Amino acid sequence: MTESARVVYLDNGATSWPKPPEVIEAMASAMREQGANPGRGAYPMALAASRVVFESRRACADILGVPDSRDLVFLAGCTQACNLMLKGLLEPGDRVVVSSMEHNAVTRPLHVLSQQGVVVEVVAADSTGLVDALDMERAVKAAPTKAVVCQHASNVTGAIQPIADLADIAHENGALLLVDGAQGGGHLDIDLAGLEVDAYAVSGHKGLLGPQGVGLLYLRPGLDARELTQGGTGGSSSEQDAQPQGRPERYEAGTPNTPGIAGVGAAARLLAVHGAEWRAEEQRHFRMLKEGLLAMAGVTVYGPALNEPSVPVLSITHDTIDPDRIAFLLDRRAGVAVRAGLHCAPWAHRTIGTLETGAVRFGVGYATTEADVRTALAALAEVLA
């Protein structure tokens, strides 16, 4: 038995696993057959690499509801996308309204920006992690605001935030809506143009099912975010010292991660075909897990009520056994892979009341089975007995 064969993988909030075979093959093919640098030559292999990037961008744009794929930028991860979104758009003196559920990918860039003179107003979510749009509106109206910053879904409780309402609130008050969509991509049916967000950061390796090392940032047409990195883009204007301002090159200086981009493109093409079916199965297995956890004595489940919308992530604590101990025993006794701790989201844990203890997070994915859920629940019951 291989190490991976015995794993009941429920850490899909961190990264999805296993990756679809098509993703792995696309990455291998990119290295094997399209291994030249994309955008840097006109010989067949270089053009093939360029087309891999081009077609992957279009495939991702299709499943995210982005009409013009040039508005979707490939980066090295969602954290980089969040950094570009925030540092590229905010300036000293700006005021932002942000939810208390944000991940460190947002809070740490905001911390740096606050030291440079950006005013950060935090609005508390409720104990399930849900942000009240009216609370956000009150905060926005309290003073001139440059941007509303909010996640699409919580990486701790699974709560889905009212992004469409927040877009209206932001725009009615002359502000931008900047969204960390790390837990949204792939798990939710997303139409970014329809949501009218101004910027939206996506992880390539979570619900989108691609490999680690790829993230995407959507910038609505005309939004002038400063690029954070300058360098070679391979295409036009090589003779100029100034960074080209056209999209997507402006934000993609340096050699791109072609194998990773090939993988996320292959994943996007799969999601275009199977996404609705996979999301339905994820939700069915997630509900099964949540029902089982809610029925366990001594267990507190952090997340929206059973019938409320949620991405397939939740956290739990136990009355007497620490989260790290639960995670360790689940792994040792039954090969159940979950993550204990603060999940890089101390603000969120402070909001739901678990900052001191942390919590155990379960994340269901497209490949999770009923047997996985039953195994995890039985193992947890034994650990807690």
Partner 1 sequence: MSGSEPRPFVVFGFDSVHDTLAAEDVLRSGRVPAVTIPSPRELGELCGIALRVEPSAAPDVEAALAAAGTPARARATILDR
What does the binding site for partner 1 look like in residue numbers (CB under 8 A)?
Answer: 38-39, 41-42, 47, 50-51, 54, 57, 69-70, 233-239, 244, 246-249
Smallest gap from Cβ 46 to partner 1, in A, equals: 8
Nearest to 316 by CA among 334, 294, 333, 332: 294
In order of 133, 144, 154, 312, 319, the CA distances from 160 in angstroms are: 12, 26, 7, 10, 27
Q: Of the two residues 46 and 130, which places its CB atom closer to partner 1 in the complex?
A: 46
Smallest gap from Cβ 134 to partner 1, in A, equals: 41
Classify burial at 179, counting beta carbons within 10 Å of its beta carbon; exposed 0-12, middle 13-18, buried 19 or more: buried
Q: Of the two residues 247 and 374, which places its CB atom closer to partner 1 in the complex?
A: 247
Smallest gap from Cβ 15 to partner 1, in A, equals: 28
Classify burial at 224, counting beta carbons within 10 Å of its beta carbon; exposed 0-12, middle 13-18, buried 19 or more: exposed
Q: Of the two residues 17 and 54, which places its CB atom closer to partner 1 in the complex?
A: 54
Helices (H), the chain: 21-32, 44-64, 78-87, 104-115, 133-141, 163-172, 192-195, 258-294, 323-334, 346-352, 370-384
Smallest gap from Cβ 235 to partner 1, in A, equals: 4
Q: Of the two residues 116 and 236, which places its CB atom closer to partner 1 in the complex?
A: 236
Smallest gap from Cβ 225 to partner 1, in A, equals: 17
Smallest gap from Cβ 226 to partner 1, in A, equals: 19
Q: Of the two residues 71 and 282, which places its CB atom closer to partner 1 in the complex?
A: 71
Smallest gap from Cβ 56 to partner 1, in A, equals: 11
Task: Report the b/e string of 327-365 with b at 16+ CB within 10 A.
Answer: bebbeeebbbbbbbbbbebbbbbebbebeeebbbbbbbb
Q: Of the two residues 40 and 108, which places its CB atom closer to partner 1 in the complex?
A: 40
Strands 336-337 and 8-9: parallel
Looking up tokens 């469409």, which residue turns up? Answer: 164
User: How far, in Å, CA of 66 to CA of 72, rounded?
Assistant: 8
Smallest gap from Cβ 47 to partner 1, in A, equals: 6
User: How far, in Å, CA of 90 to CA of 119, rounded?
Assistant: 10
DSSP 310: B
Q: Of the two residues 4 and 237, which places its CB atom closer to partner 1 in the complex?
A: 237
Tokens found for residue 31: 């290295």
Looking up tokens 């090295």, which residue turns up? Answer: 76
Q: Of the two residues 210 and 234, which places its CB atom closer to partner 1 in the complex?
A: 234
